Amino acid sequence: MTKNNSFTLMDLGLSKRGPVQMFDISSLDEDGNIIPFSDQLAIVTHYAHLYDQSYCDSYRTKAEKFINLWVNKFCEEDNSQELNESNPLQTYLFKDIYSVPFPAPKNPKFTFIDLFAGIGGFRLAMQAQGGECVFSSEWNNFSQKTYLANFGDMPFGDITKESIKRLIPTGFDILCAGFPCQPFSIAGVSKKKSLGRETGFKDKTQGTLFFDVADIISRFRPKAFFLENVKNLVSHDKGNTFKVIKETLDELDYNIHYQVIDGKAYVPQHRERILIIGFDNRVFHKKENFNFPETTDDQSPKLKDILQDKAEDKYTLSDKLWNYLKNYAITQKAKGNGFGYGMADLNGITRTLSARYYKDGSEILIPQSNGRNPRKLTPRECARLMGYPDEYIIDKVSDVQAYRQFGNSVVVPLITAVAKNIVSTLFKSNK
């Protein structure tokens, strides 16, 4: 290799132009549909991490085809020869996808798949328990970039496609899914109603995605699953939405455990989410004896503990924005509404971080001394507020996208605590 000897998979996945737009390397799936380049990259990166395991079988043929296509297209010399059978990854393409902050455990204890993966909160939690991810899926290309930078895997795109579902390896132990919550959230429901749109399962674009999760559970029958959603899922449509979810999971013959837990016991943020755990009755016969971790209010960490020593001036609110927020709060109070900015208590916890935080930061403002206007949290502080370690790479996307990603994320320490109990139950019950 000469001209392209520094060309890597990371270069493809982390280009500012995005993985889909970068190159036109057409390839068709079994149904004659074009496989997007991002999904080609997903196939190859999953193959790269699993090539010596049986879980790789669903990726192998396509991956080796794509590797040869890419090498032939971008290298000056003829690389049409077959990949080295003893070590098919001896190529410069793979040189940096193993040098990531959060690689899979060297001696994994179990396997899992990561659906609606976001930026990898579930993956961090499961890997901390000794789990190896054998399939990941996330449709948002900005989240894909962050995920790839931290784990070395490009998540697959649209999990509703049959061609993607067929790539899921068989025999994995746990299914994880933070399936889209907008159709069930209080804010999402209010917004959709104001636009005259349906919510919940009647929302044709997002509300039915739970059934894709159920379909995958039905096909692959993992020993357990771990689902996360907003608190309002329980009460949506007078409880009918959650009733349908429970009935669906019951029909799949899984024993269900669920609980609404506030993340404030793990991070300095009020963030209530429902966690739904299921164990295969055909394996555990309803005798798994699973319990959620116990939490108390006095566990809550303080906001000041996650703040950076110094934040750049760009995060301080302008006079114009600060005056607007103050006037808006006065107007809303006069109308009897509780809407307005939230000045955070540095010795307490914050409101719930939302995906709209990038707009003005109004729900969580940090007071500053010397008469300065308050400021927004920095992206790194948002990462800490969700429990991500400082080694987690967040700068492969803009601040706007980073704010959105953390506003949509799970609370990693909470998910980790529940994952620990799931895995412990899994092994204890299998003895």
- In order of their start, the domains of the chain are 308-345+356-407 (3.90.120.10)
Could you tell me how many residues make up the chain? 431
Asked if 38 and 141 touch (Cβ cutoff 8 Å), the reply is: yes
Task: Band the pLDDT of 80: cuts 50, 70, 90.
Answer: very low
Whether the per-residue pLDDT at 334 is higher than 50: the answer is yes
Residues serving a catalytic function are 181
Q: State pTM to two decimals.
A: 0.87
Which are the contacts of 138, defined by CB distance < 8 A and separation ≥ 6? 116, 117, 118, 144, 147, 155, 156, 157
- Strand stretches in 329-417, DSSP E: 365-366, 375-376
Question: Interhelix angle for 57-74 vs 37-50, to 10°?
Answer: 120
Average pLDDT score over residue span 251-278: 96
Task: Band the pLDDT of 93: cuts 50, 70, 90.
Answer: low
Q: Picking from 83-97, 144-158, 262-276, 312-326, which range would have the lowest pLDDT averaged per residue?
A: 83-97
Whether the per-residue pLDDT at 2 is higher than 70: the answer is no
Whether the per-residue pLDDT at 3 is higher than 60: the answer is no
**pLDDT tens digits along 348-359:** 999 999 999 999
Average pLDDT score over residue span 397-415: 97
Average pLDDT score over residue span 379-391: 98
Cβ–Cβ contacts within 10 Å for residue 309, how many?
Answer: 4
Give the residue from 344, 340, 342, 345 showing the smallest Cα distance to 327.
Answer: 340
Bridge partners of residue 112, in order along the sequence: 133, 174
